[in-house]
Amino acid sequence: MTIGNLRYAEHLNAALKLPKPRSDAPLALDLFAGCGGLALGFEAAGIRTLGFEMDPDACRTYSRNLHGECRQVFLEPGMDLTSEADLVIGGPPCQPFSVGGLQEGSKDARDGFPVFLDAVRRYRPKLALFENVRGMMYANKAYLEQIITRLEGLGYIVEDRLIHAVQYGVPQRRERLVVVAHKGGWAFPNPENFAFTAGDALRDLDESISNPKFLTASMDAYVARYEKASKCVRPRDLHLDQPSRTVTCRNLNGATGDMLRVKLEDGRRRRLTVREGARLQSFPDWFEFEGAEGSQYNQVGNAVPPLMARALGFAVMRYLKMADSERAAQKRPGRQLALLEHG
């Protein structure tokens, strides 16, 4: 599909064009910043960003493509990150909560929420926002409640919602829990009324010629065994007339039965390239990834889709522009939808 007469790649370029940062623009501390998918969307909405991330390749990608810089650091509670911030945003590591893992939540040493909460306590931002996998709403629901209670204890109204990336033009079925701590008057962005397919995202790339990544005979045999063993009714190849399955580090990086792949008309299958994964995540082609191929796949799979982040970024800008009197009039109790719906 097209928007107006814009094809998908052109739409990405137009929607994620980065305005020159204004010195009076709000500043977001972006914790666990990855390669900057969340930051790209926020910068497109006119917000300055400052990233903190331990992975050197991801950090270099961030600083190379965004106006904001990324500081390579292993985040721990109690760290002094900067003098002040208008916003604290981030995607604390999802492995402790993802359904594919052990879901040990706060008992998992990789849990990043102590760092996130400490930054909110320290900087008292006008708004804090984090995103995580939907698994957080299930086995770790009690821990999510604790985090929300801590944010409320710091004087915020907290609202959470399951966001579907496809509703913001991302050609992918990806659901993420987004939690916002605010001072009144926050509104989640309305869904946009268009949807792109995997075909819209991939068809104009020439990757199948320049970097085909054909599956070897043994990988093909492995896929066949996997599909048989899992009684797969619908092959897990990409269906170009629909949004793709959720893009993850694992299904981009590993030649597993679950890998994202395209089946060609002649029956051969090929894995996706980094650029194709990036297109499915809604990164524009000018955004280039640093590091070896495996690292680049991880950066892409870990990211918040920039188009989804952009919608959240504009919602944050609307919130920040609201006068305090209007904000006070709109104060309402938080904790809506997601927790109750899935309770």
Ligand X SMILES: C[S@@+](CC[C@H](N)C(=O)[O-])C[C@H]1O[C@@H](n2cnc3c(N)ncnc32)[C@H](O)[C@@H]1O
Q: What is the 3-state secondary structure (H, E, C) of 241-288?
A: CCCECCCCHHHHHCCCCCCCEEECCCCCEEECCHHHHHHHCCCCCCCC
Please say which residue, 91 or 185, places its beta carbon nearer to ligand X. 91
With contacts defined by CB under 6 A, how many residues of the chain interact with ligand X? 21
Q: Decide: is 143 part of the binding site for ligand X (CB under 6 A).
A: no
Q: Measured at CB, which residue is nearest to ligand X? A: 34
Q: Are 51 and 205 in contact (CB under 8 A)?
A: no
The phi and psi torsions of 19 (rounded to 5 degrees) equal: -70, 155
Name the catalytic one among 35, 59, 70, 94: 94
Residue type, 104: E
Q: How far is the CB of 218 from ligand X (least distance, A)?
A: 31
Q: Decide: is 75 part of the binding site for ligand X (CB under 6 A).
A: yes
Q: Are 279 and 224 in contact (CB under 8 A)?
A: no
Q: How far is the CB of 248 from ligand X (least distance, A)?
A: 11
Q: Decide: is 138 part of the binding site for ligand X (CB under 6 A).
A: no
Q: Applying CB under 6 A, which part among 6-14, 86-94, 140-148, 188-196 lies near ligand X?
A: 86-94
Please say which residue, 91 or 199, places its beta carbon nearer to ligand X. 91
Contacts of 162 (CB under 8 A, 6+ apart): 134, 137, 175, 176, 177, 178, 337, 338, 342
Q: Decide: is 178 part of the binding site for ligand X (CB under 6 A).
A: no
Structure tokens at 63: 């600083």
Q: Decide: is 94 part of the binding site for ligand X (CB under 6 A).
A: yes
| Catalytic site includes residue 59 | no
User: Which one of residues 1, 6, 18, 54 is an interface residue with ligand X (CB under 6 A)?
Assistant: 54
Please say which residue, 53 or 118, places its beta carbon nearer to ligand X. 53
User: Which one of residues 55, 160, 276, 290 is an interface residue with ligand X (CB under 6 A)?
Assistant: 55
Q: Decide: is 59 part of the binding site for ligand X (CB under 6 A).
A: no
Number of neighbouring beta carbons within 10 Å of residue 226: 15
Please say which residue, 70 or 157, places its beta carbon nearer to ligand X. 70
Please say which residue, 244 or 269, places its beta carbon nearer to ligand X. 244
Q: How far is the CB of 59 from ligand X (least distance, A)?
A: 9
Q: Applying CB under 6 A, which part among 147-155, 207-215, 263-271, 298-306 lies near ligand X?
A: 298-306
The phi and psi torsions of 175 (rounded to 5 degrees) equal: -110, 135
Please say which residue, 178 or 202, places its beta carbon nearer to ligand X. 178
Which of 281-305 are b and which e, b meaning 16 or more Cβ less than 10 Å from the residue's Cβ? bbbbeebebbbeeebbbbbbbbbbb
Taking alpha carbons only, the member of 313, 321, 281, 282 closest to residue 42 is: 313
CA distance linking residue 320 with residue 187, whole number of Å = 11
Q: Which of residues 11-50 bind ligand X (CB under 6 A)?
A: 32-38
Q: Applying CB under 6 A, which part among 9-17, 52-60, 188-196, 202-210 lies near ligand X?
A: 52-60
What SS3 class is residue 77?
coil
Alpha-helix runs per DSSP H in the chain: 8-15, 37-44, 56-65, 113-123, 141-153, 198-202, 207-210, 217-229, 249-253, 274-280, 293-302, 306-321, 324-329, 337-341
Q: Decide: is 74 part of the binding site for ligand X (CB under 6 A).
A: yes
Q: How far is the CB of 230 from ligand X (least distance, A)?
A: 27
Please say which residue, 56 or 235, places its beta carbon nearer to ligand X. 56
Catalytic residue numbers read 94
Residues that bind ligand X (CB under 6 A): 32-38, 53-55, 58, 74-75, 91, 93-94, 110, 112, 302-304
